[in-house]
Structure 1
Amino acid sequence: MIYLYTVGLLLFVMVAWVVVQAAANRFAHHHPEFGTARRMGEGCCGKCTGDTCENEHKH
């Protein structure tokens, strides 16, 4: 029975994450003044100057 609870919890977390991403994209679409919604692993590495990124050499 614990197995079913665990699988259900994992499915709930994954669906919740998709819902949060959709809400963030919807908010970004309705409020373009804040820019686009950033996805995990994309965008600035935190140490960007101009168009370069010191960490991964991509921007």
Structure 2
Amino acid sequence: MVKALTASLVIFAVMLGWLWVQAAYARFARRYPELGPFRGDGGCGGGCSCGKGRCERD
């Protein structure tokens, strides 16, 4: 039981940490626009499913 609770808390902490990193990155991109635009997650991940049922490869 303790292991399950610990694992849940670790996963929650990692997710909160990831949200903090994304917010810090957005603040940094706003502060220094000369370094390029803010690049978010990109929606669906950029895989073949984003191509509406087709996957074109070079």
Same fold (TM over 0.5): yes
* Larger RCO, structures 1/2 (Cα 8 Å, 6+ apart): 1
Moved over 2 A (4+): none
**Structure with the higher helix share, 1 or 2:** 2
Where do 5+ consecutive residues of structure 2 fail to align? 47-55
What is the TM-score of this pair, normalised by structure 2? 0.66
**Structure with the higher strand share, 1 or 2:** 1
Count how many residue pairs are aligned between Structure 1 and Structure 2.
Answer: 45
- Aligned position for 1:35: 36
What is the TM-score of this pair, normalised by structure 1? 0.65
Where do 5+ consecutive residues of structure 1 fail to align? 46-54
Q: What percent of counterpart residues are identical?
A: 36
Contact 1:25 1:36 in 2 (8 A): no
- Aligned position for 2:52: none
